[in-house]
Amino acid sequence: MAAHCRRAGRNNARIGENLYGEIFMKEHFLNLWHHVYASLSPQKREKQLASQFAATRGKNYDQNKVKLLLVGQAPNGWNLGSLNHLSPDRITEEMVQEMANEAEARLYHRPECGSWVEKRENGLYADDGKYSLNRSPFWRTAEKIEKGLWKKAERAEEQNAVWLENIAWSNLYKLSPAAGNPSEKSKTLQNEICREILKEEVRALQPTHIVMMTGWEGWAKNFQDCFDVLHVTGQKNVSRGDNKNEIYVEATGRMGNSKAKVVVLCRPEGRKDESYVEAALKAFDNFQ
């Protein structure tokens, strides 16, 4: 009886935390949009607010022993709600509210990390049929890291599932151009609110492992307040020239009340997949 009451108490506390988190997330997305919108000129808005992103998880994520949160830099073409292809100055307050509602739904209620891809004989493609995940260094190495982490743990999902259904996915910055990364000004405007959003994503998702494929300088470094424990290697990958090296891990640490192991990697473009993935897995193995 006592054990049942304790479980019920924990469940009620978790429900309360999530309700608070949902309100928190909506408010932060609204504040983020309005703050960046008001701080940019009309010409800059047109470019810097074209993509919006919210974290999402796969349908198998919650039941897995290994809960991997994959973190990239910025949306790069992703869109929320009905904001797709609209000029920022034509976006109404109702549309911004819809964006915030969509961000809340994706994180707390609607697992869909793998819903935007389709499985073909020659690999995974975005649902537009044009973008191949197998040709993307980001997705290709992320899949190998995910599979490497599973070597020591039993999978909870069906064997033929799309691997994206096993993970959660986020980006450091939630607003960006339709192609490419946000400007330094846009990043500065987003830093404070996006740090709070990342903290809430980690709290809600409760990952066991976080891999940031972002690089440290100019990216993960802006989010160092999110770490409970942090070790910066002070080394940087050089992919060309006489000083070329195979240093891929730029920082390690813990988040989420120190429950999640975090590895910060340089970007995978122009690097050897095998060496890059091996470095990530070795860094996770080295955690005490």
**What domains does the chain contain, in order, with CATH numbers?**
53-80+111-285 (3.40.470.10)
pLDDT of residue 4: 47
Question: In the predicted model, is pLDDT for residue 16 greater than 60?
Answer: no
What is the rounded distance in angstroms from the CA atom of residue 238 to the CA atom of residue 266?
10
- What b/e readout covers 144-180, taking b as 16+ CB neighbours within 10 angstroms? bbbebbbeeeeeebeeebbbbbbbbbbbbbbbbbbee
Q: What is the mean pLDDT of residues 83-92?
A: 72
* pLDDT per position as a tens digit, 99-128: 888 888 888 888 777 777 888 888 888 777
Burial of 262 (0-12, 13-18, 19+ CB in 10 A): buried
User: Contact, 212 vs 73, CB < 8 A?
Assistant: no
| pLDDT above 60 for 240 | yes
Average pLDDT of span 159-186:
89
Q: What is the mean pLDDT of residues 164-191?
A: 94
- Of 53, 69, 77, 86, nearest to 173 by C-alpha is 53
Residue 160: the pLDDT is 55
Residue 223 has pLDDT above 90, yes or no: yes
H or E segment to which residue 70 belongs:
strand 68-72
Give residue 118's pLDDT: 83
> Pairing relation of β-strands 68-72 and 209-213?
parallel
Name the β-bridge partners of 67.
none
Residue 152 has a pLDDT of 54
* Structure tokens belonging to residue 187: 């990043």
Q: Average pLDDT, stretch 72-92?
A: 76
Does residue 58 register a pLDDT over 50? Answer: yes
Q: Which candidate, 215, 224, 226, places its Cα nearest to that of 256?
A: 226
The residue whose two tokens read 């609607």 is: 110
**SS3 sequence of 149-185:** HHHHCCCCCCCCCCHHHHCEEEECCCEECCCCCCCHH
Average the pLDDT over 226-231 and give the result: 96
Going 149 to 282 to 214 to 218, the CA torsion angle's sign is: positive
Lookup: tokens for 173 = 């910055």
Q: Which of 33-42, 69-78, 80-89, 275-284 has the lowest mean pLDDT?
A: 80-89
In three-state secondary structure terms, 19 is: helix
Report the mean per-residue pLDDT for the chain.
85
Burial class (CB in 10 A: 0-12, 13-18, 19+), 9: exposed
Q: How confident is the model at residue 94 (pLDDT cuts 50, 70, 90)?
A: confident
Let me know: does 102 contact 53? Beta carbons within 8 Å: no
Cα Rg, the chain, nearest whole Å: 19
Is residue 246 predicted with pLDDT exceeding 90? no
CB 217: neighbour CB atoms within 10 A? Answer: 12
According to DSSP, the β-strands at 168-171 and 68-72 are: parallel
Q: What type of residue sits at position 248?
A: Y
**What is the identity of the amino acid at 13?**
A
